[in-house]
Chain A
């Protein structure tokens, strides 16, 4: 006991290292979700329901479906798209609504900035949390796919890291956009951007269905890059295009993070 008390009086406060700070922010979010696990779980449901209704339901009546010049079951086509979508959902939920609430209403970051934490710590920590949430959703989704026999290649193991990349890109960009939002109404734009991406990013049908110009547009969206990356991994059809997707997603993540940090400086350190 005496020993402990000495530690109590002698331990000295200090600035935390970047890695520690990320761990602490993630821990704080885990604590706060411990009482809201139901909210956490429902975010996962949407892509699973789509997999069942469209991938499997609609899949029954789609025949002779070709991907990469090979015949493939429609549900095998849809499933990896849903992994990507679940990563996007998971990351965006906290990066947009959650982040806005902490920033504008809860004054949570004001509290953190009274400690040795910096705006960069806050940006990295919150992004790590979004990423973790996206990662958990996708990992759970891969388990669902495995149970249903939808995984055709060992490459599929890499789907989870790929999903983390998707989480990174969407988390960072989502947070960056959120710093510009003025009220909850502005989030209509997020929904407005997410839904078409979800429906048209080669999630339910290949981009070859589009005219050339539109195809180019779609190929530039982050969800498309994520969907294709996941599909290449689950079907084992890796190519140079996969590397491009990886670089693209990482670049979005890093760029977003830089913007978030700058905006937090502007908004919080007045």
Chain B
């Protein structure tokens, strides 16, 4: 499915922002602190990380709308500083915040946007029909953007990002704020694009989304990459096979943690529950009960990316 062609390559990539104050020199803040990334053709590549990790800053540099502060970045082997328009004509962008044109209706949004890519009128018209169908918005073609629901706007943004038949599709939190059904529609569409050979680069706060869509993942924290691999590899490397979740009464979890610490390879204390990392969750649970502890609820499950995330960033993904 993937070949060796490098679509995106970053070496020691940095991004800093200067926050100007009224008096005195500006304060420099480094949002991305030297990351290496390689995305090959046909791959679905995911960026995970807590708020402020630098995911969007990285996406914006890849989209050539944010100048690189340091290091090297190449997209299709081209330098964004000198080939911005060429690169942008070959990528599709779904930014974190919708940037739809509220003064135009749905159809016009797609039409005008498509024309910005130098595509002939009739080509854009035909593609609009296809894309509206693809994101199930055909009957909304004449609707005002303001009248669309959040999920419909997101779908329209995705349709818009596909109008130029991009080789790379960049999605910054494509499904944040959507209901489960809308998310499944989008996953399905993205999956089809992947099968057509489109390279996907996405950020997300949803672990299930990352597991479903991404072939390769990087976890970012405070501007650096802290782990990289396929979802499977990451789980194997950073977590045990199973997790036993136990929940005691409000406020008791932390106090009881020392009593179960030796029953698992690692114990994670969350405000509302304890997570026991072990290869045999049922066994750990029996041991907990054997010590006379009576949790209010218990659950044994397979480890997920959420556990990897917790381990690496010390925060739960939903933060």
- Give A residues with C-beta under 8 Å from B: 4-5, 7-9, 11, 13-16, 20-21, 24, 27-28, 31-32, 35, 106-108, 110-118, 268-270
Q: How distant is the Cα of A144 from the Cα of B288 in the complex, in angstroms?
A: 92
B101 x A117 contact (CB < 8 A): no
Return 25 A-B CB contacts under 8 Å, by A number. A4-B122, A4-B126, A5-B126, A8-B123, A13-B164, A14-B89, A14-B117, A14-B118, A15-B86, A15-B89, A20-B118, A28-B101, A28-B104, A35-B103, A106-B102, A111-B100, A114-B93, A114-B99, A115-B113, A115-B164, A116-B89, A116-B117, A117-B85, A269-B65, A269-B66
Q: How distant is the Cα of A5 from the Cα of B129 in the complex, in angstroms?
A: 12
Pick the most buried of A8, A14, A31, A107: most chain B CB atoms within 10 A of its CB: A8
Residue of B nearest to A23 (CB): B115
- Give B residues with C-beta under 8 Å from A: 17, 60, 63, 65-67, 84-86, 88-90, 93, 95, 97, 99-104, 108, 112-113, 115-120, 122-123, 126-127, 130, 164-166
Q: Other than the known A15-B88, A31-B108, A269-B65, what 15 A-B pairs have Cβ atoms closer than 8 Å?
A: A5-B126, A8-B126, A13-B118, A14-B89, A15-B89, A16-B116, A31-B104, A106-B101, A106-B102, A111-B113, A114-B63, A117-B116, A268-B65, A269-B66, A270-B17
Q: Which among A8, A20, A117 is the interface contact of B127 at CB below 8 angstroms?
A: A8
Given contacts A24-B112, A116-B86, A118-B84, A110 and B119 within 8 Å (CB-CB) = no
Nearest CB of B to A144, in Å = 29
A4 surroundings in chain B (CB, below 8 A): 122, 126
Q: How distant is the Cα of A27 from the Cα of B89 in the complex, in angstroms?
A: 20
Q: Which among A8, A27, A116, A270 is the interface contact of B88 at CB below 8 angstroms?
A: A116
Q: How distant is the Cα of A31 from the Cα of B103 in the complex, in angstroms?
A: 8
Nearest CB of A to B120, in Å = 6
Residue of A nearest to B119 (CB): A11
A114 x B102 contact (CB < 8 A): no
B65 surroundings in chain A (CB, below 8 A): 110, 113-114, 268-269
Q: How distant is the Cα of A107 from the Cα of B88 in the complex, in angstroms?
A: 18
Q: Across chains A and B, which 6 residue pairs bring their CB atoms closest together, nearest first?
A: A13-B164, A15-B85, A32-B103, A115-B116, A13-B117, A111-B99
A269 surroundings in chain B (CB, below 8 A): 65-67
Residue of A nearest to B164 (CB): A13
Given contacts A31-B104, A106-B101, A114 and B88 within 8 Å (CB-CB) = yes
B117 x A7 contact (CB < 8 A): no
B123 x A7 contact (CB < 8 A): yes
Q: How distant is the Cα of A16 from the Cα of B85 in the complex, in angstroms?
A: 9
Q: How distant is the Cα of A31 from the Cα of B130 in the complex, in angstroms?
A: 23
Q: How distant is the Cα of A14 from the Cα of B164 in the complex, in angstroms?
A: 9
A108 x B101 contact (CB < 8 A): yes
B99 surroundings in chain A (CB, below 8 A): 107-108, 110-111, 114
Q: How distant is the Cα of A24 from the Cα of B115 in the complex, in angstroms?
A: 7
Given contacts A31-B104, A269-B65, A115 and B117 within 8 Å (CB-CB) = yes
Q: How distant is the Cα of A27 from the Cα of B309 in the complex, in angstroms?
A: 48
Nearest CB of B to A129, in Å = 13
Q: How distant is the Cα of A4 from the Cα of B130 in the complex, in angstroms?
A: 13
Residue of B nearest to A16 (CB): B118
Q: How distant is the Cα of A84 from the Cα of B86 in the complex, in angstroms?
A: 41
Nearest CB of B to A23, in Å = 9
Q: How distant is the Cα of A9 from the Cα of B60 in the complex, in angstroms?
A: 28
Q: How distant is the Cα of A111 from the Cα of B163 in the complex, in angstroms?
A: 14
Q: How distant is the Cα of A106 from the Cα of B102 in the complex, in angstroms?
A: 7
B119 x A107 contact (CB < 8 A): no
Residue of B nearest to A8 (CB): B126
B85 x A118 contact (CB < 8 A): yes
A113 surroundings in chain B (CB, below 8 A): 65
Q: How distant is the Cα of A128 from the Cα of B93 in the complex, in angstroms?
A: 27
Q: How distant is the Cα of A24 from the Cα of B101 in the complex, in angstroms?
A: 14
Q: How distant is the Cα of A113 from the Cα of B117 in the complex, in angstroms?
A: 11
Given contacts A15-B118, A16-B118, A107 and B89 within 8 Å (CB-CB) = no
Q: How distant is the Cα of A4 from the Cα of B112 in the complex, in angstroms?
A: 20
Q: How distant is the Cα of A117 from the Cα of B90 in the complex, in angstroms?
A: 13
Pick the most buried of A5, A13, A110, A270: most chain B CB atoms within 10 A of its CB: A13
Q: How distant is the Cα of A203 from the Cα of B146 in the complex, in angstroms?
A: 43
B123 x A24 contact (CB < 8 A): no
Nearest CB of A to B56, in Å = 11
Q: How distant is the Cα of A16 from the Cα of B164 in the complex, in angstroms?
A: 13
A111 x B101 contact (CB < 8 A): yes
